[in-house]
């Protein structure tokens, strides 16, 4: 996978013009969803570098991260006369950058694309690192490819368009980055006031968070080893999301990750002696910030089943990323069914589910 350029932009128009210039093209396409068309496109629509571009707009939210939506983007590219030398700009959250990145990566075997993430979640995670894809067969991000954007341009002004829920959703990935880096980053995240946001401080933390992810992706772009660290909280988090999807309950990805972090830190404490005080401090932060995900023991089998579909699994074992301490990462840790059920019991008892 080619290395991508991630820019924390102070002047989006200039940064985008420079990024587009680096990708000579015949036609330019801009992908938005219905939300970013309304809230974010107005910021960019008069940019000289986007003059003459063709707009493609898809439905917002994860329910639209489907094969049908993907096909509609391919069709729009085809109808708009896209060739292998065309360029696509994805302006949106993780759904737009994941699906747009996959559409671009597969259209005529791949056209180049630029990501402009507009949510905290996509700034610190989804748009960086070249994972693209769609949901399929009831499973999250089941189909996709690794293919990095040519450039990722972060303009933290967009953070001010987000409601509290979407800020908290992205913040969970930042918390994950804190847990896999240093006690200092982790403590800074637990102490930040999400009810009265200091945007200047948040921008600094976003830059640090992206740097943590970039360092890992650079060492292991296609997740053969170290990049699995970025899946902390996701084995259980994805199972919660899949259960919620099946039961028509709406939960944001980051909320599922935050709840998944509690479970996987418990497993870390049991299996790797992760310090209990840090488990409880993180748990308390998650409970206060994200509330809880409700499920009962009749749903354990279904959750276990979802975990068996996790992409990290090998040889019929459910593979977790665990921590022996903050920043002390242990990838490829299997757990027995009993350990997983015990973890779910702990979650329900300690989180009031």
Question: Site residues (CB under 6 A) for ligand GLY?
Answer: 125, 129, 131, 227, 230
Beta bridge partners of 50: none
CB of 136 to ligand GLY, least distance (A): 17
Beta bridge partners of 33: 58
DSSP for 163-220? -HHHHHHHHHHHHHHHHTS-HHHHHHHHHS-SSS--HHHHHHHHHHHHHHHHHHHHH-
CB of 86 to ligand GLY, least distance (A): 26
44 or 147: whose CB is closer to ligand GLY?
147
116 or 221: whose CB is closer to ligand GLY?
221
CB of 223 to ligand GLY, least distance (A): 6
12 or 230: whose CB is closer to ligand GLY?
230
- DSSP letter (8 states) at residue 228: G
DSSP, collapsed to helix, strand or coil, labels residue 265 as helix
- CA proximity to 145, closest of 317, 320, 311, 319: 311
- CA proximity to 102, closest of 136, 140, 143: 143
30 or 318: whose CB is closer to ligand GLY?
318
DSSP H helices, the chain, are 12-21, 34-39, 41-44, 67-79, 94-106, 120-121, 164-179, 183-191, 199-219, 234-246, 253-272, 276-290, 300-308, 337-351
The residue with its CB nearest to ligand GLY is 230
CB of 230 to ligand GLY, least distance (A): 4
- DSSP letter (8 states) at residue 160: G
148 or 351: whose CB is closer to ligand GLY?
148
- CA proximity to 102, closest of 62, 59, 131: 131
Q: Are 289 and 351 in contact (CB under 8 A)?
A: no
CB of 137 to ligand GLY, least distance (A): 20
How far is residue 279's CA from residue 261's CA, in Å, rounded to a whole number?
9
DSSP, collapsed to helix, strand or coil, labels residue 148 as coil
How far is residue 348's CA from residue 131's CA, in Å, rounded to a whole number?
32
23 or 237: whose CB is closer to ligand GLY?
237
100 or 129: whose CB is closer to ligand GLY?
129
Q: Are 262 and 345 in contact (CB under 8 A)?
A: no
CB of 129 to ligand GLY, least distance (A): 4
CB of 311 to ligand GLY, least distance (A): 10
CB of 131 to ligand GLY, least distance (A): 5
142 or 345: whose CB is closer to ligand GLY?
142
């Amino acid at each position: 996978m080619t290395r991508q350029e991630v820019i924390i932009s102070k002047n989006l128009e200039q940064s985008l013009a420079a990024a587009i210039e680096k990708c000579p093209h015949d036609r330019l396409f801009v992908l938005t969803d219905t939300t970013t068309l309304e809230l974010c496109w107005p910021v960019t629509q008069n940019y000289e570098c986007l003059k003459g571009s063709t707009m493609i707009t898809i439905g917002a939210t994860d329910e639209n991260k489907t094969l049908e939506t993907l096909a509609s983007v391919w069709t729009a590219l085809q109808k708009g006369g896209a060739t292998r030398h065309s360029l696509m700009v994805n302006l949106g959250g993780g759904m737009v950058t994941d699906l747009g990145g996959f559409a671009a990566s597969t259209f005529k075997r791949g056209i180049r694309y630029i990501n402009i993430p507009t949510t905290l979640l996509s700034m610190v995670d989804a748009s960086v690192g070249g994972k693209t894809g769609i949901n399929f067969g009831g499973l999250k991000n089941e189909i996709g490819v690794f293919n990095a954007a040519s450039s990722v341009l972060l303009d933290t002004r967009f953070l001010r368009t987000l409601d509290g829920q979407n800020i908290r959703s992205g913040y969970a990935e930042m918390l994950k980055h804190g847990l896999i880096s240093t006690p200092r980053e982790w403590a800074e995240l637990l102490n930040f006031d999400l009810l009265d946001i200091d945007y200047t401080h948040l921008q600094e933390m976003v830059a640090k968070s992206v740097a943590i992810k970039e360092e890992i992706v650079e060492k292991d772009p296609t997740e053969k080893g170290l990049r699995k660290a970025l899946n902390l909280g996701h084995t259980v988090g994805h199972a919660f999301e899949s259960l919620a999807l099946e039961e028509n309950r709406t939960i944001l990805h980051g909320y599922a990750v935050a709840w998944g972090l509690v479970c996987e830190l418990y497993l870390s404490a049991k299996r790797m002696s992760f310090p209990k005080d840090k488990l409880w401090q993180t748990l308390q932060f998650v409970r206060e910030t994200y509330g809880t995900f409700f499920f009962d023991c009749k749903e354990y089998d279904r959750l276990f089943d979802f975990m068996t579909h996790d992409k990290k699994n090998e040889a019929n074992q459910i593979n977790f990323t665990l921590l022996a301490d903050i920043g002390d990462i242990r990838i490829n840790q299997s757990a027995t069914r009993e350990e997983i059920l015990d973890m779910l019991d702990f979650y329900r008892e300690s989180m009031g589910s």
